[in-house]
Each structure stands twice: as C-alpha cells, then as structure tokens.
A and B are shown apart, each in its own frame.
Chain A
Amino acid sequence: MAARKVYASSENALADVFSGATLLIGGISQYGIPKTLINALADKDISELVCVFSPCSEFGAFPLTALDPLLKRGQISRLITAFPFYQNTGSLIESQWSSGNLSIEVIPQGLLSEKLRAGGAGLGGVFTPVGIGTSWSTRYETQEIDGRQCLFLEALRGDFALVRAQQSDNLGNLIYKGMERNWGPVMAMAADITIAEVTDIYDAGDLDPELIITPGIFVNRLIQSGQS
C-alpha cells in the first residue's frame, strides 16, 4: 500500500503531462539530470512546453543539452534559464531561438532560484537588492525597503517538476548524491506534481531520517531508473 507513489514506468508517471504545461527540470551539466523522464516525455504527443532549466549547457561546453530530446521534436516553446547556450556552437536552443520557434526568458541563476523557492514556500514574491544598479533593475519592479533599493521577484511555480535523486523510500523521501542535488530540493517544492527518478527505491524505514533532503510531502511520484 505504501508503494502507491511508485509508478511502474515513466509513461505512467507522465501520463497527465499536457501541452502547454510548465515543467521544472532539475540538473546542471551532467549532474542530476532526470534523463529517463526527459526521454519518456519526448515520446509523448505533447508540445508548447514551458521549461525551466538552468544553465542549459555548461559554459563553453559541447553544445548538447539535456533538453535535446524535447528540442529535436520541437516540443518546447519557451525556456526560462540563466544561461541558454554558448553562441555559435551549433546548439539546438540557439538555432530554434534565432529562427523564432523558441522564446527565451533569461533570469540570473540565483534570482531564478529565489523565484522558485518563493513559489514552493507559498510566498507571493520577494524583494532583494541583488542586481540593483545593473540593467536587471530596469527589467523588474523596484521598491525601496528600509532605505535600500530592491528588485521584486514574483514567485514562480511549475505544473510538474522532474528531478533526479540517488535514493528514496516509497513515501517519496529523497536523498541526492553530491552535486546531483542542485535544483532538486527547490524544484520539488515548487510544482503541483513532482516526479522523481531514483536509482534505488527502498521501503519506508530503510533511510536515515536525518539524511533526507527532500521530504516526501514534496514528491508525488517515483520511478526507478538505473542511470548511473
């Protein structure tokens, strides 16, 4: 009975992902990418997805990104990221963006994180002085708080979050491995439905409660995936 969060396949876990949905996709560079779920999403007949994924490729790195399976099928219409591509390296994001098929909203990485955290924590938004004085001040509402100019960052949430963890129990409690943690905890909070792909799924009680990073209350569905 406790296994009801555990889904037999990615297809089942992603069954209700719809065209136009906002997806929060965890992972940076090769760390913590929910590859199995992304590949399964590419097999679905859905499009017009809004994806939050950041950065899209490690700076200066080979142009492939974890989103390529979705980009190849033209499933993404809008991308929210702190770093979309390194120009002239042949990235699919750059070509789809320059041909007008993909819109890109750029947000500095830490500010994007605060917007998602606000969404996950039930805040309407936060004021921060970060970015004041730069051109970012002109892109956001500003207000003086206790004598200091601040930007307003409105909360951001997703319909779905796709994250990757190393271990979970069947209640959805997640443990990440090293640098794979990155976006997992904050994205898992900030979506209506959070789906985690996990290398090892244990019974409740097999994980040390002190080591759990994302408590199961933030996780709706689990799939087992052997990626290393």
Chain B
Amino acid sequence: MLDKKVLSLDELAFKVAREIRPGNVVAVGHGMADVIGKRLSSAPDAWIIDGYGGLISTHGASKSSKDKQGSSFHGVSDVASIMHGGHVDIAIVEAGEITASGDIVSLSTLSTAGLLAPGWSVDLLDNPRRVIAVAKHFNSMGESVLKSNCTVNPDGIGCVDMIITDIAVLEIGDNGFVLKELVDGWDIDDLTADGSIHIESSQSITDGEVDKEEETELSKLYDTGVAAMSDLPDGATVMIDGFAGPGGMPHYLLVSLRDHGAKELTIIGNTAGIARVVNFGTPAGKQAIDHTLLIDNGQVSKAVASYPVSPSASRPTAFELAYRRGDVELELVPQGTLAERLRSGGAGISAFFTPTGVGTLIAEGKQSRIIKGKEYILEKGLRADFCIIRGYKADKLGNVIYKGTSRNFNPVMAPAADITIVEVDEVVEVGTLEPDEIVTPGIYIDRIVIRPKDFSPYE
C-alpha cells in the first residue's frame, strides 16, 4: 500500500476547491482543513473563514493577486456567529472517523486522549449547507477513516455530504458510501479493511480530472432601490435601521419600499418613525424622511420597536395615530433586548436570559429564572425576511463601513435577515477598505444600492 500514489495537499485542495461556487462561505476547521483552507485560492470569489478570525476573500486571487483583497478580520465571537447563524455554505473538517450514515468524529476530537475535545468541530458541523470531510485515508496504524461505527461520540450526526481523502472521493448516498473518484493504482477494496462496510461504486469513477467550470462574475450591485427589493412579498417582516434620527437611516430604501408597495408588513426597528415629528437628530429647519412614509401608505400592520412613539403626547406620530385607530399592532421591546434579540437571530441563538424588564410588564408571560442569585427573563432571537440598512461605504463584495453614531443597529441587523440590502453613499473597489476597518463583512450583505447623488433625506 505504501508505494501507491496518494494525493498531495495541493491536489486535495484542488478537489475541495472544485466544490466551491462563487460567493460561497467556506469555514475550515483544524489541521488539514486549515492547511487546505489556505490553498483554496483557485475557488472563485469565495469567502474562507478560519478559526483564527480571518475572513479571507479569494476575490482576485485567481488573478494572482497576493494580498487577498476584500478580506477582513474578526474576533472568535464573530466567527462563532458566522458558524452558528447558518451563514456557512460549506464546512471543511478533518475527519478521524466517518460512518456510512454521515456521522463524523473530527481528528482533533479523536486526538485528545479521551477528552474528546473538538476545537471548532462541533460548531462547524452544526449548521452548514454542506459538509466536506477531508482526511488521510489511513492513519499511522493503517486504519481506514471509513468506519462501520464511530468508536467515540460523534461531533456531527448524519451531516457529512462528501469525503475527500488522499486516495478517493466519496459521497454519502441513501445506501451509504458512494465512490466517485479513485486515485490510479488503488482498488475499491483497499478503501476499508472492514468487510461489513459496503461501498457502492458510482457509474463514472474518474481519477479526478475534471473540466474547469467557467467563472461567473457575481454582482450585488443594483441600479435602484426598487429593483433591489422586487421580490419582497406582502406580509414580509422587514428590519429597518436607524437609532431615531436621520443618521444611519436608509431613507432612499424607505422611499423605494413605499414605491414598491408591499402591504401587511411587520417592521422591526428602534422606532416606528419619530424623527419627522420631533426633529430628533435632525438639522434645524429640516424634516427627515422616516417610517411615517410606510405608515401613511397603509403598508404596515405591525411594528416591533423600543421607542415607537413621539416623546411628547401632544405631537403624535403617524404610527401612534394608526395604533390608536387599531390599524397597527405594536410589540414593545426594551432597546438592549431588541439589539440582543437581533444579534441572536443572526448568531444562531434561539433565546437568552436577560435581567432587563424583570418585574415589569415586559416580563409578563415570559419564563424567568434565578441564575447565581440574580433574576432573568427569557427573550427570543428575532429574524426577518428582509433588512434595509444604511452604510457609509461598501466595496463590491458588500464589505461595509459606517460613520460615527450612524452605526447603531446596522451591523446587528445585517446578519439577522434572509436578504439584507444596504444603502451607501459610495461603492469602492475591492481592496480599498482595510481588513481591520470593515465592520460588516460582505457575507452578510446580499444587495447594494447607491443612494442617488441628488436624493435628499429631507422632505
């Protein structure tokens, strides 16, 4: 066996790269997965997230650019949010054991003397659209990575889709392992010493040479706000950023949403439109566009907000009047709880215990618990179908930076919606924004719209 050809790490990485589509977010685990992650530059326009907090864009890498333009750096907690929040398309994990039903023990878990320490593996395997296990087919004892049963508790159950080892490519089919490719000189019977493991042979076993697909250029840039939300349906839940005033509010997209006309919307935001009435954070003599636009147009059926109405009862907002008429519902949420619920929605947290609101009306009907002598209530994560936010600049990959206190809820909402649309002053070339400066990485931004030069946020 020892004299037969095995794939090099570069060849293995090539096979992994073949599986990656433009725009995919690829999370790599420890060891061989990490090494392969650093060799995926042939994967076009993908994002490679590693356990160190690097979110490496391969944009331009195929044009042999060395400084991976469009990349950004993040903390461990941001990496966890990306993995847990369902933002990963492909997870790559180095396997120690894999079964025919797709259970996997990562090599790190297997290599910690029974402590079963998984590093990132459990996080990686939880929520990606696809799992590719990479491995040396045989360990130093000559045992195959393909097992009839895991010898320890698996890190992921039934989650493996594809296995790429140094001698074969297999998929997990309905009846177990399906061999797709085999390195020259090896036989299907070599793949496992255990006769009880059945490996189905695919019709077209190749030695791995495949045609290169044509690269497709992805564009997140839309010509108009209305074009960017053409698929926003009636009844949608829409997050709308803004603290309260015009700073950080996506005015152009608000106008677009009015023109688009979707009805029965649930809007989530800090306010339900107060700037127009009280001139909050608005230059003297100006009247800012806000959520009022949608209320007046009869598009809103419910608001989730912390500061929904005017601070002054004598100057009611359009929302308050609609609320009194019974035209709209209101879910009132403390501001920090709102922020945390949005973060949870984007980070794969279903619910959390917060001390905010204990003993108040907000706590009614909610589970409570004393933890280390302090009382908390349970609040749930919040997601939306669409999110419209306001950035200062974006690059073409969707990396966004903000300005001053206009950051507020923008970076919190962006990961928490199925489709996030950002309105920016300017779209810059990839590589213009510093990797340490990017606040919202492009993986969270689906569509970009430039606020027209002649657009005024004031009425």
Contact = CB atoms under 8 A, between A and B. Distances in A.
A and B in direct contact, judged by CB atoms within 8 A: yes
Interface of A: 28-29, 31, 55, 58-60, 81-88, 94, 97-98, 104, 106, 108-111, 113-114, 116-118, 121-131, 133-136, 145-146, 148, 150, 154-155, 175-179, 181-186, 209-211, 213
Interface string B47-74: 0000111100000000000000000011
A150 B153 contact: no
A81 to B, nearest CB: 7
B111 interface: yes
Contacts of A124: 352-355, 369, 371-372, 374, 376
**Those 10 A-B pairs whose CB atoms lie nearest each other, nearest first:** A110-B123, A124-B353, A135-B153, A110-B80, A59-B30, A108-B122, A124-B376, A124-B371, A83-B119, A145-B350
A34 to B, nearest CB: 15
B311 interface: no
Given A83-B119, A108-B122, A124-B376, A184 B75 contact: yes
Given A109-B120, A122-B354, A122-B355, A177 B436 contact: yes
Contact of B349 (A29, A116, A126): A126
A131 B352 contact: no
Given A28-B52, A134-B155, A181-B74, A210 B117 contact: no
Of the listed residues A58, A110, A130, the one surrounded by the most CB atoms of chain B closer than 10 A to its CB is A110
A129 B126 contact: yes
Interface string B154-170: 11110000000000000
Interface in B293-340: 340
Interface of B: 30-31, 34, 51-54, 73-77, 79-80, 83-84, 107-108, 111-113, 115-123, 126-127, 153-157, 340, 344, 347-355, 369, 371-372, 374, 376, 380, 401-404, 435-437
B115 to A, nearest CB: 5
24 contacts: A55-B119, A59-B31, A59-B107, A83-B112, A88-B113, A94-B113, A106-B118, A108-B121, A110-B80, A110-B83, A111-B80, A114-B349, A124-B353, A124-B374, A126-B351, A127-B352, A134-B122, A154-B371, A179-B53, A181-B74, A181-B436, A183-B75, A183-B76, A186-B77
A98 B113 contact: yes
A111 B83 CA distance: 11
A131 B126 contact: yes
- Pick the most buried of A86, A98, A184, A186: most chain B CB atoms within 10 A of its CB: A86
Contact of A210 (B34, B76, B437): B437
A99 to B, nearest CB: 13
A84 B113 CA distance: 10
Nearest to A144: B350
A158 to B, nearest CB: 14
Contact of A134 (B79, B156, B349): B156
B255 to A, nearest CB: 27
A191 B119 CA distance: 23
Contacts of A136: 122
Nearest to B152: A135
B303 to A, nearest CB: 21
B158 to A, nearest CB: 8
B280 to A, nearest CB: 22
Contacts of A211: 436-437
A94 B352 CA distance: 35
A96 to B, nearest CB: 13
Given A86-B112, A108-B123, A126 B76 contact: no
A81 B116 CA distance: 11
B338 to A, nearest CB: 14
Given A84-B112, A186-B75, A128 B350 contact: yes
Nearest to B339: A121
A55 B353 CA distance: 27
Contacts of B344: 126
Contacts of B380: 145-146
B435 A178 contact: yes
Contacts of A122: 354-355
Q: Which of A31, A88, A97, A133 has the largest count of B CB atoms less than 10 A from its CB?
A: A133
A180 to B, nearest CB: 9
A97 B153 CA distance: 21
Nearest to B33: A59
Given A59-B34, A181-B73, 6 more contacts: A83-B112, A106-B112, A125-B371, A129-B126, A130-B122, A130-B126
